[in-house]
Amino acid sequence: MSSADILAKSIQKTDIWMKGAAKELKWRDRHRAYIALRAVLHALRDRLTNREAVQLGAQLPTMIRGIYYEAWTLPDKPVRDRTKYSFLSEIQKSFGRNNVPGVDTAHVARSILRLLSSKISEGEIDDIRAVLPKALAEFWPKEARKPVKRATARTGGSTRGKAEHTVDELISAADSGKRAVTGLVRTLRSMNEGCTWRVLIGERVRLKGYECTTCAALYAADRENCSYCGSRLLFVENLTGKIIEFARERGVEVQLVNGADSTVISARASGIGAFLRT
């Protein structure tokens, strides 16, 4: 996939999110919807622990992630005033800075958090809600959340009730650029960025790599620091186990490949690959 293709897909994903925000808000003005999305993302981010803030950021599309991290530095602690009035006041200030008065900030908060709940994995939403004060619970949707296009995580390679993919399907899709990647580096990048819904790993593949000490992002090779949060990395002897754990926490299905397919995925895909969310 060329750089132009990657950019085009990123723009397309951003447009989908902006349309979703406008739809939830029931606004026609896309600029106001952008201000609303940005305001709620920032207010939410500043009330999360650093670890949860980075994990949420990893699941956002590239351009939305840029909005989310705008003007952010790693704080020692989340915002001290965690009342709902402080939360809504921060949202109101964002609109005020953009000369957009008279906004129902409670409606804005509920609308954007409803959008997030439909786009982000259920496990991550549960983690976010667990670290937020109870005062903010009323802004989250109470109805059953829409399923994210991502399979329920399974360990031990079980995919009962769902059709398994063959290694040939994975490699063919990756070679043609159709929503799949192969190899450890690309697979870990797609997982770190929340793009993956199913990972295929050779049953006897033993992978080694590195893990970020703050946001738990995984890497195939050592580097100076984490590209997502800037923290240091630690060597992981059993990276295969970490990948399965990482997937389970983020609602990604793991399919362990055995038999002849295990040999094929080791030879042609370095032992691992992933199907990407559409």
Q: Could you tell me if residue 145 is inside a domain? A: no
**Are residue 103 and residue 172 in the same domain, yes or no?**
no
pLDDT at 91: 92
**Are residue 195 and residue 78 in the same domain, yes or no?**
no
**Are residue 21 and residue 131 in the same domain, yes or no?**
yes
Per-residue pLDDT tens digits for 193-252:
888 889 999 988 889 999 887 777 899 998 888 887 788 888 988 898 889 888 876 778
Q: Could you tell me if residue 153 is inside a domain? A: no
Q: Could you tell me if residue 251 is inside a domain? A: yes
Strand-strand pairing, 253-257 and 196-202: parallel
**Are residue 129 and residue 171 in the same domain, yes or no?**
no
Do the Cβ atoms of 273 and 262 come closer than 8 Å? no
User: Which of 113-122, 147-156, 157-166 bottoms out in mean pLDDT, i.e. has the lowest?
Assistant: 147-156
Which of 73, 78, 70, 68 has its CA nearest to residue 48? 78
Higher-scoring residue by pLDDT: 259, 78: 259
Start-to-end CA span in the chain (Å): 15
**105: CATH:** 1.10.490.110
**Are residue 28 and residue 134 in the same domain, yes or no?**
yes
Strand-strand pairing, 196-202 and 272-276: antiparallel
Q: Could you tell me if residue 102 is inside a domain? A: yes
Which of 100, 14, 18, 89 has its CA nearest to residue 47? 89
Which of 218, 195, 191, 192 has its CA nearest to residue 207? 218
Q: Could you tell me if residue 226 is inside a domain? A: yes
**Are residue 135 and residue 203 in the same domain, yes or no?**
no
Q: Does residue 101 carry a pLDDT above 80?
A: no
Across-strand partners of 276?
Answer: 196
Per-residue pLDDT tens digits for 131-146:
888 778 888 887 544 4
Across-strand partners of 233?
Answer: 212
Q: Could you tell me if residue 148 is inside a domain? A: no
**216: CATH:** 3.30.1330.30
Task: Please state, in angstroms and rounded to a whole number, the distance separating the CA atoms of residues 227 and 245.
Answer: 21
Question: By residue range, what is the domain housing residue 70?
Answer: 3-139
Q: Could you tell me if residue 155 is inside a domain? A: no
**Are residue 33 and residue 113 in the same domain, yes or no?**
yes
**Are residue 121 and residue 183 in the same domain, yes or no?**
no
Task: Please state, in angstroms and rounded to a whole number, the distance separating the CA atoms of residues 170 and 197.
Answer: 13
Q: Region 161-179: what's the mean pLDDT?
A: 80
Q: How many domains does the chain have?
A: 2
**Are residue 74 and residue 26 in the same domain, yes or no?**
yes
Domain ends where: 139, 159, 191?
139
Helices (H), 74-136: 84-97, 105-119, 122-131
Q: Could you tell me if residue 151 is inside a domain? A: no
Per-residue confidence band for 21, with pLDDT thresholds at 50, 70 and 90: very high
Which sign does the torsion angle of CA 138, 71, 24, 48 carry?
negative
**Are residue 271 and residue 176 in the same domain, yes or no?**
yes
**Are residue 176 and residue 134 in the same domain, yes or no?**
no
Most confident of 4-8, 54-58, 81-85: 54-58
**Are residue 88 and residue 11 in the same domain, yes or no?**
yes
Q: Does residue 152 carry a pLDDT above 50?
A: no
Tokens of 245: 């754990």
Task: Please state, in angstroms and rounded to a whole number, the distance separating the CA atoms of residues 40 and 37.
Answer: 5
